[in-house]
Chains A and B, each alone.
Chain A
Amino acid sequence: ETGVTQTPRHLVMGMTNKKSLKCEQHLGHNAMYWYKQSAKKPLELMFVYSLEERVENNSVPSRFSPECPNSSHLFLHLHTLQPEDSALYLCASSQEGSAGELFFGEGSRLTVL
């Protein structure tokens, strides 16, 4: 596998469920991101991890909990979500300190019933 891979690609969950989104980057990058993509809105940055330390947390509700066990993996744990949380969740990575270009995964389409 190359680039940034995300699983699952599609997820339907009830408001009381607990689920996790997974992201893996094969680019040797030192930073990983979670973005939320909703219709007709700009991409919203949720979290950034650099070398496994969280460096950005953009006032995201606590029902979203990130985890970065190593520089290649990033998780987003989901708990008691709301219907308005339905969106495409994009993972990205970059190599900060050089070009810094963002490489995105294919996204996880989340539907909260």
Chain B
Amino acid sequence: GENVEQHPSTLSVQEGDSAVIKCTYSDSASNYFPWYKQELGKRPQLIIDIRSNVGEKKDQRIAVTLNKTAKHFSLHITETQPEDSAVYFCAAKSGTYKYIFGTGTRLKVLA
């Protein structure tokens, strides 16, 4: 069946450094790729998304890139801060209602 692989499962960076999380999807019909941030005990919150007709999108310190040929998409966080520490999930959507999620990346930003 369709799946989304997400790497790494844990990531520790020094404050101010960049963090990159990568996802690979299997369903070539996927056309929408959101990223969610989930802090401990909180709901997953959408932080950025990208659609299949775009290769890159940026919002302040956060950017997402999409390579449809390779079925890869990545989250880039620059100038990381302690409040960026959380679990990040990628997802690929193919068709109505059909979101496939990655297993999550626990990001720790060390002060």
Contacts and interface: CB of A to CB of B under 8 A. Distances in A.
A33 B23 CA distance: 23
Given A40-B103, A102-B34, A33 B97 contact: yes
Interface residues of A, number: 23
Given A55-B97, A56-B97, A96-B97, A104 B43 contact: yes
Interface string B60-75: 0000000000000000
Contacts of A50: 96-97
B103 A101 contact: no
Interface stretch (A41-49, A63-71, A78-86): A41-49
A101 B49 contact: yes
B43 A43 contact: no
A31 B45 contact: no
B97 A42 contact: no
Interface of A: 4, 31, 33, 40-43, 45, 48, 50, 55-56, 90, 94, 96, 100-107
B97 A48 contact: yes
A100 B32 contact: yes
A101 B35 CA distance: 11
Contact of B34 (A41, A56, A101): A101
B88 interface: no
A102 B46 contact: yes
Interface string B70-110: 00000000000000000001010100111111111000000
Nearest to B44: A104
A100 B44 contact: no
Contact of A101 (B9, B46, B101, B102): B46
